Structure 1
């Protein structure tokens, strides 16, 4: 059974709407500049009489001098002589919210009947705590976490990979003066590398590097060197260990998750639109070869696996979105493949290899440093493994640690990446029956496997008090999974509508 959190469209927009006012203003500018150009031609065709002065027209219209209040009110300067105080910098999210004491009795009376819903099965666990204090409600123990596991991988990546890091996919030329030299496509672990350019107008966020652009840049470099024909190799050796995690059910192959590699396009998805290819690196190289031919460079034979020689020279490269945006995206849509790539990047960033084992070692180091209870068992980064076992207190401690970190801590991105109840990401079509007050005020990472549902996030109560929660159930009957999701949403939503202060 697939992790349904990951079934959201890869093209869904998560960025703000474009600024239409700038385009409208530019449209006015181009119109008047055309008029001015015609006036200038007319004035130059005969003797200038002083009746037509483009500079005066520009001044009269205000072009290039002052913003239009109708379309850019924020850019209009205050009247002369008006003394305004400096605009204060807003405090980080959750830092300015109320910190009222929370009543354990009220939380217990609220949650107990909701979590006793038979739809959730016999094995339900939960922890609720204030943003910076001990739990006020605890029940149950460790459970199968599903995709709430991605919170741990995200924290590890943001804590160990330098802020602003972009992963590079490059092409190098092997040494030698052959008429048809070998070039090598080298994977750098870009989880979102695309098979073709993505039109910004499609609303895809974050940006995607693509192999067509890389092929065009490579072709330009080769032509400058007088090369018109090449042999193509590809190198995906950055990551080590099994590409398919042994802790995943064998039924996931080709259907639920791609083999994890440092070189792929479209996250290893099949060009047919269904399932995943068996060798993502080879398909990426073939896609690049086709783009290179289209760019005017002949490619002899089929791409082959090749190592990069020490004296190889770079021809071209493309770079991924920054690590912060990658994390936000994977949390919003619960992206399994991107998460598994980042787990291996954690292994590299902490001094190990690009393997699952080294990634998990680095992850546990981060949890120890931040004082967070580690998962009881963890075999992957995405939560696809049914052998993973996590206590809800671990999820609550993680969110508390992130919310309580310094404003410049890169891990704060996790709060921004949490889906929003009823509005965004994997919660955009949920919480339909939850209390209306929870919509937009409850943010949580979802977890979904067959028989398993979980939520871990933050709910802001009507009086402005944030409550951190983790709700987990892993014995749900398959035939009632959808209403069970609603039941869990209602419990989380009740926290968002709760007046639980003392």
Structure 2
């Protein structure tokens, strides 16, 4: 009984249809479109997130400094293909230390601040496999077993058991790669010494660096897999780029700022996180169609990267099994959209090519659904399928 819709032409920006289109509505994972546009604007598609190792205050101490890369892997068996690897960083550290044997790993995850779970998340998010403690240092999106998670990703829709303290877990993994065998006693939290031009193995001197996949690829993964942990890391990158704290609050404020700078109606978005897991998020359908139009009309080429990861109706991602019924088949192959799902909340926003080749953008947000999930999704799909049939051919 609460369905808000916006439809517009991508090439002209003309609004074609609206029903409650300016009404702030719970967006669920459709939020990731706003996060993706904001981080592409703030950081640029080519930006890579560094993970560094620096010399500690005492000989043999190595400080592992998290830069906020959620895809960092331990080795070649990581969850995210092509990710930066701790074993490569460990090799750099051993070379830099020369004859000095590593004695301790200090974990510096101070780049992120505030709570590791957003207060508006449902109670089962921390343990349900779709969220994790958000820290500036983690490996494999905080998954406990990356190899098993990779093997079962499609079966479980990317849900996986997560470790409770991702930064310390990464520190222990790094210590093992450095040859330290003393267990947890050789790993602790701390902060890196000020570099102040230090070289060699002096306190604060850099011992090695690895860099994440480029931002364009991280945004692809975030959208195609609806990866909540990557989304929260991306929101914090927006915050850091804008000089705000790397926190839920900082990320939300910075995203709002960037969208406003792009000329979007920032008054129609109010965020608490970057993933859409929070029920306190609000976005209007018209802001989403404005955002997609801006990304697709060529005025900001860097934002076009938002489209690479969009699932395709009846073919990929979260739309793989949709648009297959007779009533929705018109949308198969021509709808590309991000979906959003929380209990009682269902949303979809993206683009659709009509029968006469016109590219439209649409957003349908519902946040008081009572029917079954399949029934609700089918109802949403019928709307975009009807748009696909528009035209003279």
TM-score, length of structure 2 as denominator length: 0.87
Q: Residue 458 of structure 1 aligns to a residue in which SS? A: strand
- Count of residue pairs the alignment pairs up: 366
The whole-number CA distance in structure 2 between the counterparts of 1:162 and 1:473 is: 32
Correspondence 1:325 to 2:217? yes
Aligned counterpart in structure 2 of residue 144 of structure 1, from 4, 26, 33: 26
Correspondence 1:235 to 2:108? yes
Give the structure 2 partner of residue 104 of structure 1. none
Please list, as runs of the form range in 1=range in 2, the aligned pairs for 1:287-326 lying within 5 A after superposition: 287-293=173-179, 301-311=185-195, 312-326=204-218
Q: Residue 253 of structure 1 aligns to a residue in which SS? A: helix
Correspondence 1:217 to 2:87? no
Deviation, 1:388, is 1.3
Give the structure 1 partner of residue 125 of structure 2. 252
Aligned counterpart in structure 2 of residue 348 of structure 1, from 240, 264, 286: 240
1:363-418: CA deviation from partner (whole Å, max 9, x where unpaired)? 12222222212344321111111111221111111111111233x62111012222
Give the structure 2 partner of residue 452 of structure 1. 345
Please list, as runs of the form range in 1=range in 2, the aligned pairs for 1:56-135 lying within 5 A after superposition: 122-131=1-10, 132-135=12-15
Deviation, 1:289, is 1.5
TM-score, length of structure 1 as denominator length: 0.69
- Return 278-287 or 166-175, whichever deviates more: 166-175
**Which contiguous aligned blocks of 4+ residues in structure 1 show a shift greater than 4 angstroms?**
297-300
1:304-333: CA deviation from partner (whole Å, max 9, x where unpaired)? 012111241111221100011111111111
Aligned partners of 2:314 and 2:322 also within 8 Å: yes
Deviation, 1:424, is 2.0
Aligned partners of 1:347 and 1:356 also within 8 Å: no
Correspondence 1:401 to 2:283? no
Structure 2, unmatched stretches of 5+, are: 150-159, 196-203
Please list, as runs of the form range in 1=range in 2, the aligned pairs for 1:455-466 lying within 5 A after superposition: 455-466=348-359
Aligned counterpart in structure 1 of residue 367 of structure 2, from 470, 474, 478: 474
Give the structure 1 partner of residue 135 of structure 2. 261
Please list, as runs of the form range in 1=range in 2, the aligned pairs for 1:199-218 lying within 5 A after superposition: 207-218=82-93
Aligned partners of 1:258 and 1:337 also within 8 Å: yes
Query: Structure 1's 453 and 134: CA in aligned 2 closer, same or farther, altered over 3 A?
Result: same
Give the structure 2 partner of residue 46 of structure 1. none
Q: Residue 309 of structure 1 aligns to a residue in which SS? A: coil
Correspondence 1:361 to 2:253? yes
The whole-number CA distance in structure 2 between the counterparts of 1:435 and 1:452 is: 21
Query: Structure 1's 471 and 500: CA in aligned 2 closer, same or farther, altered over 3 A?
Result: farther
The whole-number CA distance in structure 1 between the counterparts of 2:7 and 2:379 is: 17
Give the structure 2 partner of residue 389 of structure 1. 282
Aligned partners of 1:173 and 1:314 also within 8 Å: yes
1:458-491: CA deviation from partner (whole Å, max 9, x where unpaired)? 11112111111111112222x6112211221222
Query: Structure 1's 439 and 299: CA in aligned 2 closer, same or farther, altered over 3 A?
Result: same
- Return 392-401 or 266-275, whichever deviates more: 266-275
Give the structure 1 partner of residue 67 of structure 2. 188
Structure 1, unmatched stretches of 5+, are: 1-121
1:247-296: CA deviation from partner (whole Å, max 9, x where unpaired)? 22333222241011110011112238642221110111111112222xxx
Q: CA RMSD in A?
A: 2.1
Q: Residue 31 of structure 2 aligns to a residue in which SS? A: helix
- Return 264-273 or 339-348, whichever deviates more: 264-273
Query: Structure 1's 371 and 229: CA in aligned 2 closer, same or farther, altered over 3 A?
Result: closer
Aligned counterpart in structure 1 of residue 49 of structure 2, from 141, 155, 167: 167
Aligned partners of 2:352 and 2:387 also within 8 Å: yes
